[in-house]
Copies of this chain bind each other. A is one copy, B any other.
Amino acid sequence: MKISQKGLYAIQALMMLARHHQQGAIKIRDIAYEEVLPEKFLELILLELKNARVVDSARGAKGGYRLRRDPEDIRLSEIIRLIDGPLAPFGDAEQLRELIDRDIAHRALYQVFLDVRDAAARILDHTTLADLIVDQSPRAGKGGKRNKNQKTASILPMVVGGTKGD
């Protein structure tokens, strides 16, 4: 699975909508401005998210976009699959299972690919927009208030991270 610029933009746009979830319709222009995204490109992305029923739109003056579901009900895996396709590093999970069944010589390899996709799926299925957003209001961070239901971002001791470049 590779996340494209477009995929990143989609996630950023949805994070912005999640932050402003109480505030009714948000204009494309405002999303583009706040997240620093190319407006015309963002337009197409939002249309795609709309067709996938992740967001809703209102046309005309006072129009704009909003999330169709609460932030805690929109998973990162869903967005990534939508924009960038399967989570597997090669093919998709179904194909891989098929190959594991039929291609004896390469079975072990495809099983590793499937393990990688399962590991990614576990993480991305369990992460929602609500887990990602931080309060960006002016006096944020001063009080002890924590984001409701937010899993404190993992911050692993980078056990494997001995690898420098990647």
B residues less than 8 Å from A2 (CB atoms): 1-2, 89-90
A interface: dominant SS: helix
A52 interface contact, C-beta 8 A: no
Q: Does B112 contact A132, Cβ atoms closer than 8 Å? A: yes
* Mask of A107-147 contacts with B, CB within 8 angstroms, 1/0: 11101110111111111110100011110100000000000
* A166 (CB) vs chain B CBs: closest residue: B86
Q: Does B94 contact A165, Cβ atoms closer than 8 Å? A: yes
Interface size in chain A (residues, C-beta < 8 A): 59
Q: Does A166 contact B81, Cβ atoms closer than 8 Å? A: yes
Q: Does A160 contact B121, Cβ atoms closer than 8 Å? A: yes
